[in-house]
Structure 1
Amino acid sequence: MKRLIAISFLSIYLFSTTEMYQLVKLPLLVEHFMEHKKAKNKLTFWEFLCLHYTPSTDKDSDYAKDMKLPFKTHDGCTNATIAAFVPHNFSTEIHKPVTSHSNNYPLLDEAFRGSSFLSAIWQPPKTC
């Protein structure tokens, strides 16, 4: 049930705020292709798309039908704005007291501190 609701909300959102509503016009594309196919028997679907979607299209007798095809016009563009209203008397209170902990870490033993015999390594070599 949750999946169905999520898919329906996603569909409503995509169809209202993007160009996906143009997919509803696909039956018009098929119908218009069939009309052109009756007029020219050897017309392929690719030639039909090139005829209608290339920039060099001229205004012909069925220009009004051509403009109803999917992705020919950009009408119905919307802008979705979500506004969150915060009331004027909005206040928050923290009920949990904040406590600070001081950690006293033990110091290292004297045995682990550096001794002077380690500094003897960094001397120039001596000759025998």
Structure 2
Amino acid sequence: MIRKIAIFCTIILMVSTTPLSEVLKLPIFIEHYMEYDKGGLIHYVVHHYGGHEKDEDWETDQKLPFMDLSSVLTIVSIAPTIPLTLIPETRDFKFKKPIIKHEENLMDQYLSNIFQPPRLS
């Protein structure tokens, strides 16, 4: 399944990045290969696409697909710049006043107990 997905993605990539005019030149490639008698397909491709010098069939060689590099796919992407500012961490220490119980708020039963809340003097 993964192999089929990989093949499908490769075909989609090739179709989207290859110009149709180069695909239409494939019959010229096959016809010229049939006339070529100096070796196999690998030798043919290396001879025509890897540092080719002028010979008697130079005009036919220039009609082969992907010989003209003028139409190259260029993808330009611009990444947005996000300004980064560091804000120093500030802590506000607010001390709260301690809560002191007033005697008028206390109930009578707490006044008779030994352990009593602090009193204002």
TM-score by length of 2: 0.42
Larger Rg: 2
Highest RCO, 1 vs 2 (Cα 8 Å, sep ≥ 6): 1
TM-score by length of 1: 0.40
Structure showing the higher helix proportion among its residues = 1
